[in-house]
Chains A and B, each alone.
Chain A
Amino acid sequence: MNALETTGLGMRHRRTWALRDCSVAVPAGRVAALVGPNGAGKTTLLRLAVGLLTPTTGQVRIFGRPARESGERTAFVAQNKPLYTGFRVSEMLRFGRGLNPRWDDAAARRRLTELGIPLDRRIGRLSGGQRTQVALTVALAKRPDLLMLDEPLADLDPLARDDVARGLMGAVAETGLTVLLSSHVVSELEGVCDWLVVVNGGRVQVSGDIDELMARHSLLTGPAETADALAARLPVVSRSGAGRQATLLVRDDAPPPDPRWSARPVTLEEMVLAYLRTPDAAALPRPALSPAH
């Protein structure tokens, strides 16, 4: 079962497409990273998925149902963490309780107490990390099956990032909820996410299990004069090099056929950057989508 599934999804603002022909699936139980440069369509995809925007083309399904009917099953933490800065933390909770039938007030209070965030503190007086934790707590108290976060780790110091990431992973361990989070800082997603979606120029470029993707790619280094011959035989994602040495990032896990070439595993960041630099390359599952279950 897919927690999120989009088919031919497109969003046009006046004459420009913010997102185009986007077909992507995130299986239930995954922690998925939505990665891409600024302006690639990440926020648009998230807002369409939560039902905050109506698509120009295509459709979104949440656990097999249209996004518009799935409000209770999804929660969204927007990039600007829309909390009322004049509110006290406890008032934020009361507000959430009034709006959400599935609201778990006890869990929200317990979580904030564990984090040492005073309930009577005004939102505006909290640190950036604490504010993110409150936004995350409010989202989790809705008891969503799919939680989407837009750049949750941006503008946080390293300690707060670690705290927020641990808080999020703790919620996954406890409830098994599906997470889709966008980020443009790839290095901090390693270990946190197990599913990757790369969006570039409004299109989906990569989608799949991170371990599998990393095992299927390797970085080959060898003599430049033989690079063309090798590149003709292997699916090359990106190519670099200076002088006599060439480096190819290939979508292939077999040892290089030419012994003068050496292979080493790619990091998540190297793989993502290689795709972003080569907008025409794509690593998508063969049938991009499974039929509705």
Chain B
Amino acid sequence: MIEFRLDRGSGVATYLQLVQQVRHALRLGVLQPGDRLPTAKEVVARLAINPNTVLKAYRELEREGLVAGRPGLGTFVQRSLGQTSMDDRARLRAELVRWVRDGRQAGLTLEDLEALIASVLTDSFRQEIA
């Protein structure tokens, strides 16, 4: 069973924090198909968190096909989140290496590059959420 945490003040919406924690657990194999997620009531008993938010997170996971609710029984994991293929990873890494080299030649420091990546990631995922 997964135990949720809450990072208050992170700027990440609470339901998204829960969604991310489930996805993370699926990637690590901590949660596997057939496992039951805690009910809103169980989560609330441990963590001072709005039960509507827990349900909102579960709806989002359901929409992604990762979990399914069975009335009266609970919410169950449907499938695991496998790693992306090794080929994809290798290709993306090579592109990133090239991009970093370009950036350094253009005079950007480590922090410049980190800030750029962070801002692109933020923008990209915010558009996805919206």
Bound pair: A and B? yes
Residues of A within 8 A of B (CB): 29-31, 161-162, 165-166, 169-170, 172-174, 187-188, 190-194, 210-211, 214-215, 218, 253, 255, 262-270
Report the separation of the CA atoms of residues A30 and B53 in the bound assembly, to the nearest whole angstrom. 10
Q: Chain B contacts of A161 at CB under 8 A? A: 48
13 contacts between A and B (CB under 8 A): A31-B50, A166-B46, A169-B48, A170-B41, A173-B40, A173-B41, A191-B6, A191-B49, A192-B49, A194-B53, A211-B14, A263-B119, A263-B126
Main secondary structure of the interface of B (DSSP, over half): helix
The docked-state distance in angstroms from the alpha carbon of A210 to that of B14 is 10
Known: A166-B45, A187-B8. A211 touches B130 (CB 8 A): no
Interface pair B41/A267, CB less than 8 Å apart: no
Contact B123 A255 (CB under 8 A): yes
> Of A31, A263, A265, A269, which is within 8 A of B52 by CB?
A31
Report whether A172 and B52 are in contact in the complex, using a CB–CB cutoff of 8 Å: yes
Chain A contacts for B130, CB-based, 8 A: 215, 253
CA A266 to CA B10, docked complex, whole Å: 8
Q: Are A215 and B13 in contact (CB under 8 A)?
A: yes
Chain A residues near B123 (CB-CB < 8 A):
255, 263
Q: A170-B44, A173-B40, A262-B115 are in contact. Are A191 and B50 (CB under 8 A)?
A: yes
The answer to whether B107 has its CB under 8 Å from any CB of chain A is: no
Q: Complex formed: what's the CA distance from A179 to B61 in Å? A: 26
A-contacting residues, B75-97, CB 8 Å:
none
Which residue in B12, B49, B50 is a CB contact (below 8 Å) of A265?
B12
- Report yes or no: B51 in contact with A267, Cβ–Cβ below 8 A: no
Tally of B interface residues using CB under 8 Å: 31
Return the contact of B48 from the options A162, A210, A218 (Cβ within 8 A): A162
- Cβ of A188: which chain B residues have Cβ within 8 Å of it? 8
For the complex formed, measure the closest distance between the CB of B55 and the CB atoms of chain A, giving whole angstroms.
Answer: 9
CB contacts (< 8 Å) of A162 on chain B: these are 48
Contacts of A192 in B (CB 8 A): 48-50
**In the bound complex, what is the Cα–Cα distance between A192 and B53 (angstroms)?**
9
| B8 and A173 form a contact (CB under 8 A) | no
B41's nearest neighbour on chain A, judged by CB, is A173
Q: Is B72 an interface residue (CB 8 A)?
A: no
Q: Which residue of B lies closest to A219 (CB)?
A: B11
Cα–Cα distance between A187 and B7 once the two chains are bound (Å): 11
Given contacts A253-B126, A262-B115, A264-B122, contact A169 B11 (CB under 8 A): no
With A and B bound together, what is the CA distance between A50 and B44 in angstroms?
A: 27
What is the minimal beta-carbon distance from B47 to any residue of chain A, in angstroms?
7
Known: A29-B52, A31-B50, A267-B9. A190 touches B122 (CB 8 A): no
Instruction: Give Cα A174 to B8, complex, Å.
Output: 24
Q: How far is the CB of A2 from chain B (nearest CB, A)?
A: 16
Q: In the complex, which residues of chain B have a beta carbon less than 8 angstroms from the beta carbon of A211?
A: 13-15, 56
Chain B residues near A174 (CB-CB < 8 A): 41
